[in-house]
Amino acid sequence: MIFLKKILIFLSILPLALPQEIFDPDTFPRPLIIEINEPHLKEVQLQCTSWRVAVEANNLSPWKKIPEECGDYVREYMTHKGYEIDLQRVCNEAGIYARSVNMSGDGKIAWIFDVDETLLSNLPYYADRGYGLEIFDSTKFDEWVEMGMAPAIDSSLKVYEEVLSLEFKVILLTGRSERHRSITIDNLLQAGFRDWDKLILR
Ligand SMILES: *[C@@H]1O[C@H](CO)[C@@H](O)[C@H](O)[C@H]1NC(C)=O
């Protein structure tokens, strides 16, 4: 992991500790900077960024797990600022759009939210499975869903509140199965979502 970072070692203090006579400007003309750089790791980063963007743009054919070499990259993205900033950007755009809609019609304007990875985050589930390094296991995922512990995605909760205050009707549309209706309702309420008009399950 240490090689992920550019390591700069400044040896400029070294001459101070040496006898004056060897401090010859021709042989020791500058603070010595040793740069250890891993071109290979830069390449992996670029490959993984390219893979992620292709996934997000839905340009990849169906895939089962993240590429082995992207494990560190995806974990870093999901758990540090990257994912959060991307969520904020999308939610900000959604808010701008919501405020631009002319609501003075027949009151039949609805806003549809997906549930998983839109309102609720299953990141804790994926964190235990290498952030996608393991093949998706629907039985284990169902067990996680049935715990009803998925946290809200904060920036989505803000959009949700704004959309409600603008008096959109809110419809929740999810690929979760009908048998998970009550745990899904509990989970949504506990995460701070409220007052939806309809929850449509599979
Ligand atoms: C909003 O819609 C109403 C009714 O459809 C219309 O009369 C009004 O001009 C619209 N307002 C704007 C700002 O477009």
What's residue 79's pLDDT? 96
Cβ–Cβ < 8 Å for 167, 202: no
What's residue 57's pLDDT? 96
**pTM of the model as a whole:** 0.79
- Measured by CA distance, the residue closest to atom 2 of ligand 1 is 104
**Domain for residue 178, yes or no?**
yes
Are 14 and 113 members of one domain? Answer: no
Are 108 and 25 members of one domain? Answer: no
Are 19 and 88 members of one domain? Answer: no
Q: Which atom of ligand 1 is nearest to the CA of 102?
A: 1
Q: Tell me the C-alpha to C-alpha distance, in Å, between residue 136 and each of 74, 128, 141, 149.
A: 16, 12, 8, 19
Are 31 and 115 members of one domain? Answer: no
What's residue 33's pLDDT? 58
- Measured by CA distance, the residue closest to atom 13 of ligand 1 is 102
For residue 105, how far is its CA from the centre of ligand 1 (angstroms)? 7
Which residues surround ligand 1 with Cβ inside 6 Å? 102, 104-105
- Measured by CA distance, the residue closest to atom 7 of ligand 1 is 104
Number of domain units in the chain: 2
What's residue 106's pLDDT? 86
**Residue pLDDT, tens place only, 125-172:** 999 999 999 999 999 999 999 999 999 999 999 999 999 999 999 999
**Domain for residue 7, yes or no?**
yes
Domain that holds residue 85: 80-200
For residue 199, how far is its CA from the centre of ligand 1 (angstroms)? 30
Enumerate residue ranges in the chain where pLDDT < 70: 1-37
Candidate from 102, 106, 166, 167 with most ligand 1 atoms within 8 A of CB, to mutate: 102
**Domain for residue 53, yes or no?**
no
For residue 101, how far is its CA from the centre of ligand 1 (angstroms)? 10
